[in-house]
Every structure is written in C-alpha cells, then in structure tokens.
Chains A and B, each alone.
Chain A
Amino acid sequence: MNIFERVIKETIERISSQFSANAPGLLTGILIVLLAYFLARLTRWLISRIFKGITFDRFLRRSGLLSMLNQSGRVRTVEIVANAAFWLILLGGVVTGISAFDTQITSQITTTVIFISPKLIAAAVILVAGFWLGRYLSRHILVWAVNEAIPAGRRLALAVRILVVFVAVAAAADHLNFARNVFLAAFILVVGGIVLSASLALGLYGKEVLHRCLQEKPDKTQEKEEMSIWRHI
C-alpha cells in the first residue's frame, strides 16, 4: 500500500467514524425540529380555530393592550397568541434538537437558553406592562389636560409616557443584568434633571407668580362668567 492509498483509506475511515458518531445526533435533531415545526403549526391552527379570539379580543380591547400592539386597534389578537405559541414551540424544538448532539457546546447553548428564558420572559412582561401603563397614563393625562384647558397637555402626556416607558426599560435591563450601571446612571440623570428643572422654574418664576397671586384680588367677573356645574344638569 503506497502512501497515497493509506491517506485515502484513513480519510474515509475518519469520515465514516465522524459520520457514524454525529449522524444519529444530527438526524435526531432534524427530526425533533421537524416534529416541533409540525406541532407548532398544529397548535397555531387549533388556537385559531377553537378560540377565535372573542373573549381575548374583548379583554385586550378593554384593557388598551390591543391598541398598544397596533395603532389601528384592528389586529386580531388570536393571531398574535397563535403565532406566539407557534414560535415558542418551534424555539423549544430547536433547543431540544440542538441538545440531541450531546456535545459540550450544544449542552452549553441549551443550558444558556433554559437559564435565560425565564428572565427574558419576565423582562418582556415588564416591558409590555411598562408600555401599557405609559400609554394608559398618558391618555388619561391628555384627556384631563384638555378638559382642564391646559395648553401643553399633549407634551405633558408624552413626557409621562416616556418616563414610564424609560422606567420599564431600566427595570427590564436590570432584571437581565444588562448594562445595569448605564441604565441606573441614565435614570438618575433623568430624574435629577427633572427635579433640577422644576426647582429652577420654581425659583425663577415662582416668586413672581406668588407675588401676582397675592396682589390680585379675586376676579369677580370671571367668577360670574364661570357657569355653575349644576347648570349643566
């Protein structure tokens, strides 16, 4: 056997040994992913068919979550739920498929995904809650401001919304242990900035306003012009 033949033979042996070592894991993985894919599709189809989104749609519409997910408010929530279930099952299938290789790297990937998933879900819930709360508060502040004839109502509502969303993002990042110091510093800067601006505004203009209020007598004409609330009823 010359050297060339020996190289060819060893190569074929190595390939066959690698193939026999990895092929079962690969095939298992592919099979699991395929099964997960079909299971995910089946689940999505079942959710779409069975629930039809009636109750869930109503709940989301009432709570304002629907309009948060889509500005038009016309998204069918059952589709969202069905798609979420599809992707969750598929992700689970992929992770299980990867773990079928049973190597160090795949084990690490699986462990990381399993370890991080609850945290990711919790962070997502914090974010969704923050976005919802921000939207809810900003809408009510906006209507209140309009009904109280406050001219900067829209800006006030937007500021409240940004602040609430920012707090939610900071809380989610903190939960994921992601850039904790950056978010903390940013949060302190924002809150500190607001307090400083308010203090400056009060210091610069408060005295003047107070002086005016003390000097001005109650405006009887304006009082007269104000229609008593009972007049409406």
Chain B
Amino acid sequence: MSHDRKTKPERLLPEDALLAVEKLQGTADVVIGIPSYNNARTIGHVVRAAQAGLAKYYPQLKAVIINSDGGSTDGTRESVVASKLEDSQLLFLNTPMFPVHRLSLPYHGIPGKGSAFRLVFQLAERLGAKACAVVDSDLRSITPEWFDLLLRPVLHAGFDFVAPYYHRHKFDGTITNSIVYPLTRALYGLRVRQPIGGDFGMSSRLFSRYLESNDWETDTARYGIDIWMTTIAIAEGYRVCQSFLGAKLHDAKDPGADLSDMLHQVVGSVFMLMQDYERVWKARAASEDVDLFGFRFGVGLDPITINVDRMLKAFRLGCHDLGEIWERALQPDTHAAVLRMGQDSSRGAPFHMEDELWVRIIMDFAVSYKRQPVERGYLLRSLTPLYLARVASFVSEVENLISEEVEQRIEQLCICFEHLKPDLIARWDNAPSPSGIVGRESEKTQEKPASTVSLEV
C-alpha cells in the first residue's frame, strides 16, 4: 500500500462530471457503471445490453449509464456515446419509458478499476440514485437480464450488495477458487462464491459508505476494488445476496495486465482488510450460505488450455531463487515442505500440493504481511510461484473431474481454511497454536442451510 490511509477522502466531482450531471437535470433512479480502458471492441455490446436491460425491466425508472474511462486511445468513449439501441430492436415495448442517458467521462487519480468505480459512485450519489450496478466493459456473455438480476434484489428486496454467481470452467477463476473465496469465507463466515467477480449491484447506502473510505489511493484503486467492496459489505453487516448470471466470458485481450501485479493487488487488499476488520473475523466461526437469486441453468463454456509444465518451472525457479524471502515469510515446517516439493518436482515426481500446506502458506503470508519481516511488495510478489504451483496441482488433480466434483474439491479446500482458522488467529496474536481447537471448530463448520427467500427475477 503506497498511501497514507489517514487522509480524508476527496469527494469533489471533477468539473466535466459536474457539467454532465447538470445536463441531466440532477436526478436518476438507477446508475450503471462501466469502467474501461481501451475496450472499444467490446464496450458497445455491454452498453447496448445495459440499455436493453433497463428498457425491458425498468422502463419507469430514470437511468444513467456511466462509462468511467482511464484514458483510452482506441475510441472507447466514442463507442459508448455512439452505442444506441434502436426501439425497433426491442420487441416488447409499448410502455412509455424514460430515455436512458449515456455518459462517458475520464476518471482522475491512480489508473485502475477502483478509481473508475469511485467516479461512478460519486456521480450516483450526486444524482441521488437508489441503486447502482457495475459491470466489466469486456464481457462477451453479458445479457440485458444481468442488469435486472443485479438491481432487483436491491430495489425490491432490500439487499445492499448483490454479488455475481457464474458458471465457470473448472480451470477458470483460479485466484478466486484457491485464495479469495476460501479465505474470505473462512474469515467473514459468508459463502459468497464470486467475491471478486467484478459485476455487482449495490444500494445507495452502500456506495455512499464506499465513498467515505480513505482507501481510494491504495491497491483498492486497482484490482483490489472487487474484494474491497465485497469485504466491506460482508464485514460491516450489510445485507448481501448473490444472483446467478450464467456464464462469464471475457474478451481474450488483456491490455497491460500482469499476473504478478494482479495477484499482488488482490491478495494485498485481502490482507489489508484483514487488519482493518480483525475484530470482525476473529469473532466469526464457521460459515453460512448466502441467498442466491436467479434461475440456474447449464451453459457451454470456452475450453481452457493450461500449461502446467510452465507453472511448475516457475515454481522450481522460485524455490531456487526466492528461498531467502520464503524462509522469512513461512513457518519453518511449511518452508521445508515447500522446498521438498520443489526437489520432488525437479526429480520428475508427480506434483501435488496438499490443501493444508496451501492453506498454511496463505496464512503465513497473511501474518507476514501484518508483521512485515520484509517489505510488503516484495513479500506479495514472491507469492506468485507458490500460487502457480497450487494452480498446477489443482489442474492436474481435477483434469478428469466434472464441474460438480470440482466444486466439491473447492469445498474441501474451504473447509480446510475454516479448520485452520484458529491457528491463524493464534499466529496473528503471536500466541501458541491452539491444538484441540481445530477439532472443535471443525464441528461448527457443518453446512448451514441458506435461508429460503423468494424473489421474482
């Protein structure tokens, strides 16, 4: 984190945004936010889907689509303004409806998705919106129904935060499946399956809370925004639910994306939030399901090919070169186990990383992030080879499994995280490991049924 989080958040809107708000005569019921950076190829489809969704499901509400752009040079902003859905394309309209306004504005501050969201939330607050939904600008699989699924629980059922729930390929979402979902679930006790999904709905109460935060100049401004939003909603007791959106397919192009940076920002945000909400997560044991809305259906998914050898090569290189930092970040037995795995892998033995070892690695890194035996950026970036090793192990393990079996496998990992949580708390507090508590806690982690809530979507 490269910023003083004590400074007061800046809530003033840029001048161009103020002018745009004035043109809209000051109010809107619903705001759709779309962050972008060089997404001219795909953003038109997303904007049209949003227009169709609003026209179809909320013709009686005043809605604004806001594209918050990071300085695109490929005509992204022009695409947004030009993307207009003709009435003739909609077969269901006789109802008089409000026009859906489209705005495309450049955001200020650290380049990243979080800064883009900040401008969206500022505008939504200024316009007095009751609900806001944010979606990625490079989605190929987005449909008008997504907007209804993200907004309806807020507008009609009193929820504050709607997280997405997708069908994904078994090799997809590896940071989510191996770190963010199990860790968030174990810490805060709610089973939000896609905490960094990127497409969310939220109430005015919640986005106003986000704007009050001092975190906008940290990794939150970048890839950390998704987990930051989800964690605040869960940890501060806002009403959280999930909506089934179908498949999530991104554009293959990823401008300027780097795995190590992404992992650093996402995991760094999780660890930063662990410090902020220490009292909350220490007090919570076990986990429970979250209400899930939407009609679940099977979808076809793009195949994913993964080069496991390349991942293992990166891990072996890490074992060879990053021993110094791992030695400080990991507990001696964990470190020894990691090095043994590296040696076995070099000898060509079948590679497998036990769940418990992986959980201990993540927990050790979380504690090291707090204690800082080494600089945090260096610490977090050194996690990449270990993460790749975990992905390689997982991919090899689930290669021949169907998606339900893979989900069971992820569930096992989550339970392992929950079982070892007392150890994490002990290490966090520098106390001796609570042997025996693990067993008792495991009994608490039995399935808790989701509360049955009916909602027409």
Contacts and interface: CB of A to CB of B under 8 A. Distances in A.
A25 interface: no
A41 interface: no
14 contacts: A58-B372, A64-B375, A140-B377, A142-B322, A143-B378, A147-B381, A149-B314, A151-B317, A225-B306, A229-B257, A232-B174, A232-B263, A233-B198, A233-B223
Contacts of B374: 64, 67, 73
Contacts of B382: 143, 146
Interface in A47-65: 58, 61-64
A231 B252 CA distance: 10
A146 B66 CA distance: 40
A233 B385 contact: no
B305 interface: yes
- In the A-B complex, the 5 residue pairs with the smallest Cβ-Cβ separation, listed nearest first, are A229-B257, A230-B250, A147-B260, A225-B307, A229-B254
A62 B314 contact: no
A153 B307 contact: no
Interface in B287-327: 304-307, 310, 313-314, 317-318, 320-322, 325
B154 to A, nearest CB: 24
A142 B381 CA distance: 10
B307 A226 contact: yes
Contacts of B375: 62-64, 136, 139
A140 B260 CA distance: 12
A228 B252 contact: yes
A177 B151 CA distance: 72
A233 B266 contact: yes
A180 interface: no
Size band of the interface chain A makes with B:
20 to 34
Interface of B: 171-176, 196, 198, 223, 226, 250, 252, 254, 257-260, 262-263, 266, 304-307, 310, 313-314, 317-318, 320-322, 325, 328, 372-378, 381-382, 384-385
Nearest to B311: A227
A227 B304 contact: yes
Most A CB contacts (10 A, CB to CB) among B306, B317, B376, B384 go to B317
A64 to B, nearest CB: 5
Contacts, number: 98
A136 B374 CA distance: 11
B378 A62 contact: no
Contacts of B306: 225, 227
B311 to A, nearest CB: 9
A184 to B, nearest CB: 33
Nearest to B168: A231
Interface in A208-233: 224-233
Contacts of A67: 373-374
A126 B351 CA distance: 47
B313 A149 contact: yes
B173 A232 contact: yes
B322 A146 contact: yes
Contacts of A140: 377-378, 381
A41 B132 CA distance: 65
A153 B317 contact: yes
B259 A229 contact: yes
Given A140-B378, A145-B321, A154-B321, A233 B196 contact: yes
Contacts of B252: 228
Contact of B257 (A63, A225, A230): A230
A58 B173 CA distance: 36
Which of A147, A149, A151, A228 has the most chain B CB atoms closer than 10 A to its own CB? A147
A231 B321 contact: no
Interface string A6-20: 000000000000000
A20 to B, nearest CB: 62
Given A64-B374, A149-B314, A231-B173, A143 B381 contact: yes
Contacts of A61: 372-373
Nearest to A67: B374
Interface in A24-74: 58, 61-64, 67, 73
Nearest to A226: B307
A151 B320 CA distance: 10
B71 to A, nearest CB: 20
Given A139-B378, A144-B260, A146-B317, 7 more contacts: A62-B376, A139-B375, A142-B322, A143-B381, A149-B310, A227-B304, A232-B173
B139 to A, nearest CB: 10
